[in-house]
Every structure is written in C-alpha cells, then in structure tokens.
Structure 1
Amino acid sequence: PYAWLGMPLITSQDTLGAVVLQRDTEPSFSRWQRELLVTVAAQISAAIQNARRFGEAERLYTLTDAALAERVQQLQALLDAMQDGVLMVDRSGRILLINPVAADMLAQTPLTLINTPLTRPETFGFSQEEWQARIAQLQDQSHIPTSLTSRCTLQRQEKLCHFARQETAVLAKDGALIGWLILLRDITQETKLAERRTDLTRMIVHDLRNPLTTISSTIQLALRQLAASPDDAASLLHHARATTADMLDMVDSLMDITRMETGNMIVDAEAMHIRPLAEQVLTRLRPYAQQQQITLQLQAPPQLPPVWADAELVRRILINLLDNALKFTPKNGQITVT
C-alpha cells in the first residue's frame, strides 16, 4: 500500500488488538487523521472492554439467578414435605411464606395467600386482639420477642385437635426484622397418649392400693385367729402371700406405660373362662369385705363358655368394679357378681 496507519487497541490491563487503515494511492495520512484514529481506537477499546464486562456480568447474574431459583425450589420442596403448618408474615401481617399444610387450614392454596393479609388468625389459635397485639409488637421493633411457645386447641374436620405453636423472629444480618415465622405442630396423638398414660397410672395406683389393703386386713384376721385356730390363720397368711404375688404382677404392669408410649401396647387375648377368674378376685377381696361387714357372692353358671379376652385386663376391671362397690356399699350389705 502507499500509506498505512495502525493503532493498538489497549486497556489498562490488556491489549485487545489493533485497528489498521491503508491506502493504495496518494496522499498519505495527515496528522489530524492520525489523531482521529487514536481517539477512535480508544473508544473502540473502551467499548470492547465494556461489552466484555457486561457479558461477564450477565453470565454471573444468570448463574446467581439460577442458584437463587434452585435454593427457592429447595426451600419450597422442604416446606411442601413438612407435616407441620408453616407461615411467615411481615411487620404488617401480610403473608410472605406459607406451606400447603397451613394453606389447607385456611381452605386456600399457597399461591392465593402470598402477599395477602392474614385475616383469620383464629385458624392458627390467635384471637383477633392477640393478633393485633402481635402485629403492634412487630411494627415496634424495639419490643419484638425472640421466640414464643404456646398450645392451642382448634376445630379441624369436625373434631378438636391439639397444636403446639412456635413463633420466632426472622432477622437479617444487620438485625433488621425480615418476618415473623409461625410453626403449628399437631400434637393431638401425643396429648391423647399422655392422657392414656395418666389414666393407666391412676388405674395401676388404684390397683396397688387394693392388694395392700387386702394384705393388711388378712394379716389382722390371722393375728386374731392365730391362737384360736392355727389352721385358719395359716390359710389367711397363705392368702396374704398370694395377694402379695398379685401386687408384684401389677408392679410389673407399670411397664405397660412404656409400651404404650412406644406404640407397642399389646392386648394378650386368649380363650379364657370368666368364672374361675371371678372366684379368684372374690377370694382376694373377701377379707377386706369381711372387715367392712359386707358379703361377697358369685352367682354364675358353673359351665360358662370361654370368652376371648386378656385375663390380666379383665382381672383388673373386676377388681376395680368390686373395689368401688365396696366403697359405696353400707355395712351389712351384700355385693353379688352375676
């Protein structure tokens, strides 16, 4: 070429390339044209650098956005899998997050509840006054409790259910309040199990008192008849020993509480004859009845057909029934088992 003009494309950190002009004929490039090329080269270098930066930023943004979307999906999948009701509200009481269990309690879907105010706080065990007080606490950030735990009873599917409610503040790194998280856990089965455990404990304590009373009464009678009739005294002492064995059996039955808590409570049913069991119970309680001047008698056919039941549980039932009858029967009264 007749004339050639080149200018490097450089940045503060790298050389990007060069821009070249050439002519095959006169004239040569002027000074003004050279200065113009310097300016254009600088602008081209800046444009290329900006384009590269924008592309990198777009790539990083895409990766960040994808990672965030993945985290959100993971969080939503976790919430969807939870059996407890979960929701989070902002300082004004608008729902920021809710899982299907909590949404089902409101008879709606999670999508229809997002960014809407919680208008039915009683669904989660709050009274209107209590909920308004909670919102006032959230708006006054200087008096926000760290966490709260309570229990409530709610009507669900035409039955009463017991729930444990856990509330906690969700804070940013700088301590600013992001939201108020509420977790509602159904403890109906746990509550029923606790009630059954209490009932069983009371029943066993009641059962333990009966043989102790019988032993005491039998020993007293034995002491009275020891001098007059040694044979009768020996019989009474033998009965006291048998009653003590019964009491030890009932102490062992305290293990039923543990079995019930672990869901391993088993009824050991078998074919059994009810009359011999009733005679055994009456024989056991007769010394106590005699002390109260009450007559116990059994009126049942000798050949009753067998029944399918747990003999130990039936024995407890009979003892409890007769013990209550002994309590409320006046002296010189009579109790008949038929």
Structure 2
Amino acid sequence: MAKPILLVEDETIVRESIKDWLTEDGYQVIAAEDGEQALEIIGKQEFGVAILDLKLPGKDGIQVLKEAKGQIPTLQAIIITAYPSVETVTEAMKAGAVDYMTKPFAPERLERLIEEVLEAKAGAAPEIAVEEKEAEVGKQEKEITTHLEQGQDYFKKGNYAEALEEFDKVLAVEPGNLEARVWIQKAKTGAVEPAVEAVTEEEVAEEAGKPKPCVWMKMGVVTLRMCTRDYDCLTCEFDQQMREAGESPEIAAALERLKALPGNQRLCRYALKGDVSYRLCSRLFECATCEFAQVMEDAMEQKLAKLERRREALRKKEAKTKT
C-alpha cells in the first residue's frame, strides 16, 4: 500500500479543496493546519510526499521541511506559495524540496507531479559509474547555467518571449528546476504588461464602454446588474453598499449559498472579473482580509499610474507638436 500524502496548509478552503481532489484521485491524505502539527504527525509515521505551504503560522514551510528532513531524510516535499521569489526558491532547494509550485495551480498539475515523485522513488535507476555520473551532472549544470543567464539577460531587456524559450530549455534538461519556474512566472507576467502601454485612448474608451456583468451578479448574489466602474470595485458605491449590507438576511443567505459550494467551485472574485485565469477563494469572500486581494489592488494601482503617465506624455507631445 502506498504511503499517505501529508498536506500542510493553513487556509481552510485551500486545504480542504486540495485534500478532496487528491482523495478523489485515490490518495490517502493527512492534513495539518500549521508547522508544529505537521512535525508532530511526521514523528509518528512516514509519508510518500509532503505538500507544504510556504507561509504558515509560526514556522514557515521551509523551516518545517528542514526539521522534517532531520526526522525522515528521504522525505520528498513540494513547496506551494502564492508569492514566489528567487530567494525562497533557493532556500527551498537547499532544504531539499523536489519542486516549488505557485498558486493558483490546476489540480491536475499537482497530481501529475505527485505521480512523478512517487514513481521516481519506487523505480530508482541503478547506480552508474561515479565518473560518468559526475561528467553528466557537470554538463547539465553548465547547460542550465547558460540558459538561466541568457534568459535573465533577455528578461532585463524586456524580450520576454526569448526569455521564456531559455527558461523552458532549462526545464527540458531539469524538469524540477525551481529557479527556472520562478523566472517563467515573472516572464509571463512581464509579457502581459506591454499590452497595457500599447493601447490607445480610443481603445481604452471603447473597452470601457462595453457592458460587463457586476461581480455580485457573477457570484449569484444579485439577479441583474451591469458594472459601471470597469471592475474598479474600490470606487464603486454599489460594492460598498453590498459589503455593508452583508448582515441583511437576503445577502447573508446568498453568501451562505456561495460558502456551501464545493471548494473547487468557489472562484475568487478576481477570477470572476477575468483578472486571473483561475484561482479559488480562500477567505470565504472576505476580500478585506485577503493578502492576494491586496496584492491585486496594488498591481492595479501601479498599472493605472503607468497608463496615466503615458497619457500625460502623449498630451505633452501633442502640445509640443502644436507649438
């Protein structure tokens, strides 16, 4: 019988959703809410794979991994996080993580990775000659370093497509390379930003003029309402009224229906708006307490500021041309 999977995640919705997905796929999953509980469980039994959230109350996922490795040196662990960085990738690699996944991710991707880890453990290849092994490792390291450096150089110049090609070449050599995965995420994000700068004011006005359903309508709380703020909910009076009316029986009942949905059907409001392709709500629609919501609002403010600077530059250019 295969060893169970340990899942360490402090956000209830995310933890229960991942557990449900993996259980339906035939895995035995034991869940923990924080690092201390996880280490206590690890001390009592062995696991095939451990899935550790990076940000946990008390000890973070990397610290938990380090201490767990002290108990079970062969433990295979996957770090998951909504806030990737090269620094934490490096720390995770040094601590012995086999992969580093950024949230949100498709359940199929996590399941596929778990299968690969378990298959690698079950069918370890026979030992080869030390000299041949060292030569092969040295060749791969040199190739990986070359592609990483070239990719980072492209990234700095704003050539994101070329950067992605270089980072993909790293994964072709070493599929579990965590640093390349983080750079791929950054390059994909950077590749989207020029589209904001490239639009004309006429295109912005045309897009803004198209009717769009209100987020509250998409969530099923109201029957019909179109967005009047181009999804800028922070400045929307109706959004504020709905939040303040959360105590009313009608709104409370609607929100309870949303909360009663299976975890994999509770989409984040930013997924409903189309700002991200896929993300599950981890705060039961309490956006004011959600760190991801704050990150998204900050990013939106930066994009709006960039667009305003571009408009100002165009106005100055037009004024200079007229004079």
Say yes or no: TM over 0.5: no
Compare the two structures and name the one with the higher strand fraction: 1
TM-score, structure 1 normalization: 0.21
TM-score, structure 2 normalization: 0.22
Compare the two structures and name the one with the higher helix fraction: 2
Greater C-alpha radius of gyration = 1
Which has the bigger relative contact order, CA under 8 A and spacing at least 6? 2
